[in-house]
Amino acid sequence: MGFRLHTAFQGRYALGFRHLQMVTPEQQKQFAWVLVAFFFAGSVLSFVDRSVLGVVMPQVRADLHLSNTEYGLAVNCFLIAYMIFYVLGGSLADRLGSRRTFTLNIVFWSLAGIAHAAARGLASLCVFRALLGAGEGGFFPTAMRGFSEWFPQEHRAKAVGVLMCGISLGMVITPPLVAWITLRYGWRAAFLVTGSLGFFVVPPWLWIHRRIRQAYSVPDPAPCLDEEAGNAARDHSSLRQVLAKRKYWCFLLARAFPDTVTFFYLFWLPGYFQDVRQYDLETVGKLLWIPFLCADLGALAGAWFSSALLARGLGLDRSRRTALVLSAFCVIAGASAFVAPTHTLALGLASLALFGHFSWSSNIQTVVTEIMPRKHMATLYGLTGAAGTLLAALTQPLIGRAVDTIGYGPPFAGTAVAYLLALTMLLCAGKVERIR
């Protein structure tokens, strides 16, 4: 079976490899970075569309007569669908290729985002959130496949770093953009406008791929997959053998526990500053981009810091662990935002938490790829993402119940607990090195 699959793989891409001489290395590099720009735009738009509900949460709850617990249920519908399609989307990308799957993803989730404007109650809101999660779930596995097709391994991390910056940039621009639209036209218009943005990306995406097809003379060129095929042929580790290793599960949990923090700050932070800190929507638009800008800076600073330590000869294991531990301490300290005596200090602590959280994310996702056998990387990466989303889905109803009955204190404290658990898993995982 393995021989037939490998032969099919070679047959599918052999034509493309015969035509590589038509494209110079410089042209191939330009094509690759143009595609990264589109995936960056996709990551920005995906987090804009999923963040809109958090910004207008008080308005939606009042209009649809929802409790915080019911709001948490709607958020959970997104997370469950996102988790399922995080795995299925990778399989679809392997079958259809990144060009087709990117188009399907962005069209589907854009239509789902627009549909939120028609929500009339909890049931319809839950359905639209689930559809949004289904559309967005396959995007990041598709991006990882696209990077594997176009970037050799030594340069692939640069593309992944750009993708991470798109995540936090989407959260930066959403509060001011959505607040401006909502104050003038209402929250339903905010979903209509943001959901429509994806349709501006699809035509140029198809146009650039037409240029690529003309250059390579094949529908879906993958210039770097010959290298991956060679690596896979030399690595005989089975998926079952990798899944039996404690190291893999420890690093999976070290990524999964902090994923709950991502969705807490994404879906609940705007509501916290409106409900508890008495920010009106205009103030949200003016100030709440600051924590998410700090997240962007954290993603870049964390990756730069561990890379600098590595370049100084500290070693892979010590470099990654040093960056991860310092990042975790930032998040744990930032969790005290809910007891800060002033609104400004609360905003500053939330910004520190997001800085540390995205610094952790950029490093732990790099570590996850560094410990995996090459031939199983996409599957195992998808499982770590699905595990994090599952934990986030389990915690959302608990957050909603806590906010309704006690307040925001326990959820903020929970972010510190998540990182203490992640640090424990990091200590139990052993050395950062590839699983054999």
Least Cα distance to 292 among 268, 327, 259, 266 occurs for: 266
Nearest CA to 215 out of 11, 398, 34, 426 is that of 34
Does one domain contain both 287 and 370?
A: yes
Look-up of token digits 């949004």: 132
Who wins on pLDDT, 1 or 345?
345
Residue 112 corresponds to which tokens in the numbers above? Answer: 């789902």
230, part of any domain = no
Task: Note the pLDDT tens digit of each residue in 354-364.
Answer: 999 999 988 88
pLDDT of residue 13: 40
Whole-prediction pTM value? 0.74
Does 16 reside within a domain? no
- Residue 171, pLDDT score: 77
Instruction: Judge whether 383 lies within some domain.
Output: yes
pLDDT, mean of residues 325-344: 95
Under DSSP, is residue 258 helix (H, G, I), strand (E, B) or coil? helix
Question: Cα separation of 48 and 216, whole Å?
Answer: 34
Query: Which residues are CB-neighbours of 274 under 8 A, at least 6 positions away?
Result: 57, 58, 280, 281, 284
Confidence category of residue 235, pLDDT binned at 50, 70, 90: low
Side-chain-facing half-sphere of 339: CA atoms under 13 Å: 9
- Choose one of 218, 250, 279: the last residue of a domain: 218
The closest alpha carbon to 382, from 23, 27, 84, belongs to 84
At 147, is the pLDDT very low, low, confident or very high (cuts 50, 70, 90)?
confident
Which residue is it, tokens 């549909």? 115
Average pLDDT over residues 388-398: 86
Element (H, E) at 312: none
* Cβ 296 vs Cβ 358: under 8 Å: yes
Question: Does any domain span residue 5?
Answer: no
- Among 218, 248, 277, the domain boundary falls at 218
214 and 261 in a single domain? The answer is no
DSSP 107-132: HHHHHHHHHGGG--SHHHHHHHHHHH
Give the whole-angstrom CA distance, residue 84 versus residue 105.
14
Most confident region among 179-188, 285-294, 391-400 by mean pLDDT: 179-188
Q: Region 380-388: what's the mean pLDDT? A: 82
Residue 237 CA to residue 297 CA, distance in Å, equals 37
Predicted pLDDT at 26: 79
Say if residue 153 is in the same domain as residue 292.
no
Q: What average pLDDT does this structure show over 150-169?
A: 73
86 located within any domain: yes
Least confident of 69-73, 160-164, 244-248, 299-303: 160-164
Scored b (16 or more CB within 10 A) or e, 328-346 reads bebbbebbbbbeeeeeeeb
pLDDT at 12: 40
Residues 75, 129 within the same domain: yes
Q: Is residue 329 one of the residues assigned to a domain?
A: yes
Q: In total, how many domains does the chain have?
A: 2
Are residues 260 and 303 part of one domain?
A: yes
Residue 259 and residue 161 share a domain = no
Amino acid identity of residue 121, one-letter, is G
φ/ψ of residue 65, rounded to 5: 60, 55
| Model pLDDT, residue 313 | 85
Tell me which of 151, 184, 218 is where a domain ends: 218
Q: In terms of C-beta density within 10 A (0-12 exposed, 13-18 middle, 19 or more buried), how is residue 184 classed?
A: exposed
If you average pLDDT over residues 58-83, what whole number do you get? 88
Q: Is residue 153 over pLDDT 70? A: no
Whether 411 maps to a domain, the answer reads yes
Nearest residue to 45 via CA among 164, 201, 237, 152: 201
Mean pLDDT score of the chain: 83
pLDDT digits (tens, 9 = 90+) for 238-268: 777 778 888 889 999 999 999 999 889 987 8
CATH code of residue 86:
1.20.1250.20
Shared domain for 130 and 209, answered yes or no, is yes
Beta carbons of 251 and 368 less than 8 angstroms apart: yes
- pLDDT level of residue 296 (50, 70, 90 thresholds): confident
Q: What is the pLDDT of residues 205-224, one digit of tens each?
A: 999 988 888 877 776 776 66
Q: CA-based angle 104:138:151, to the nearest 5?
A: 95
Report yes or no: 41 and 165 within 8 Å, Cβ to Cβ. no
In a domain, 225, yes or no: no
**97 Rama sector, left if φ>0, alpha if ψ -120 to 50, beta otherwise:** left
175 against 228, higher pLDDT: 175
Compare 319 and 159 and report the one with higher pLDDT.
Answer: 319
Together in a domain, 39 and 160: yes
139 and 275 housed in the same domain: no
Instruction: Categorize the per-residue pLDDT at 38 as very low, low, confident or very high, splitting at 50, 70 and 90.
Output: very high
Residue 285: how many CA atoms within 13 Å on its side-chain side? 13
The percent of residues in the chain predicted with pLDDT above 70, rounded, is 88
Question: Longest Cα pair distance anywhere in the chain, in angstroms?
Answer: 66
Q: For residue 362, what are the domain limits?
A: 239-436
pLDDT, average across residues 88-94 = 76
pLDDT for res 234: 52
Confidence band, pLDDT 50/70/90 cuts, at residue 22? low
